[in-house]
Structure 1
Amino acid sequence: MKMYLLQQEQLLPLSLERAWEFFVHPGNLPLITPPDLGFRITAELPEKMHAGMIVTYTVTPFLGLAVNWVTEITQMREPYFFVDEQRFGPYRMWHHQHTFRETPRGTLMTDLVHYVLPFGPFGRVAAPLVAKRVRGIFEYRRTALARELGFPP
């Protein structure tokens, strides 16, 4: 089993509280997800995120094929971090840790994503394409956050 890693940082020129306020609202997730991913939340969500919260949605990551994805917010320490983990979906394993740290220039947000692809050796063959797609999703989010939160990209 091969585990892959994506680590990305983004400086948000906002206070820690303002950055957290955006991310704690699960309804903001579609605003920072690429439209071509076909992201659609399929169940009602609470206004604010909490540990134990289940999020169900569909995505169309490749070839227009819709995939159900279920994640759980497994850990949360406001306003410093939260973790979402796949319970059902396109990956064999997905663990995404979001951390927020106040700096003199704003809030440094770090994403640490560990994932394992399904289908054994066939998954490993697709790994470069999947890694490119995952990086693209996070690059889109970088620009979308600037747009949604009102600062230059």
Structure 2
Amino acid sequence: MLHFEQSSLIKAPIEQVWQFHEQPDILHQLTPPWQPVQIIRRQGGLEVGAISEFRLWLGFVPITWVARHTQCDPPHSFVDEQILGPMQSWTHHHQFTPEGKHTRLTDRIDYELPGGLLAEWLLGGWVNSRLREMFRYRHDVTQQALKHHS
């Protein structure tokens, strides 16, 4: 099992950071423009049972990725898990922790690549570097969107 974590201090109260993530178009806002990802659908908000579906492009090959929210504790956390996609397993924990007037936003992902230990050894560093790029972008977008709320 591989692990990834990105944490940032967002200069806004926890309620506003949570509300930002509840927006209907949040996936469009948080998807880096350089990534070959198409958002197909989002059903529900952050609550348990909500579904997000993406089409990823690996060269010319489309890959469907579907995630379902399995836990939700407003305004502190929610969890989504891959139910269809390229990973052997994928669990993404979104944590919102108050720090004074600000919020610590932490994304933690536990995942397994298809192909077992050899695939993880060969590709794990590359996958983590792609995740680091994506979550830096997401946290920067969140910070910028909420900068006037501190």
Deviations 1:104-150 (A, max 9, x none): 14011111110111123245312221121111111121222223333
**Letter matched to residue 39 of structure 2:** I
SS in 1 for 2:80: strand
The TM-score with structure 1 as length reference comes to 0.86
- Residue of structure 1 equivalent to 2:40: 42
Greater relative contact order: 1 or 2 (C-alpha under 8 angstroms, separation 6 or more)?
A: 2
1:66-95 deviations in Å (ceiling 9; x for gaps): 321000000001111000100011111110
Unmatched segments (≥5 aa) in structure 2: none
Equivalent residue number for residue 56 of structure 2: 59
3-state SS in 1 of match to 2:59: coil
- Kept in 2: contact 1:11–1:107 (CA 8 A): yes
What is the CA-CA distance between 1:64 and the residue it aligns to? 5.3
CA distance in 2 between counterparts of 1:9 and 1:66 reads: 30
Q: Aligned in 2, Cα 1:44/1:127: closer, same or farther, shift over 3 Å?
A: closer
Q: Which residue of 1 aligns with 2:99?
A: 103
CA gap of 1:44–1:135, structure 2 versus 1, over 3 A, is closer
Q: Please say if residues 12 and 147 of structure 2, whose CA atoms lie closer than 8 Å, have aligned partners that are also in contact.
A: no
Give aligned pairs, total: 147
In proportion to residue count, which structure has more strand? 2
Q: Deviations over 1:42-83 (max 9, x none)?
A: 13534x3211112111123x4354321000000001111000
TM-score w.r.t. length of structure 2:
0.87
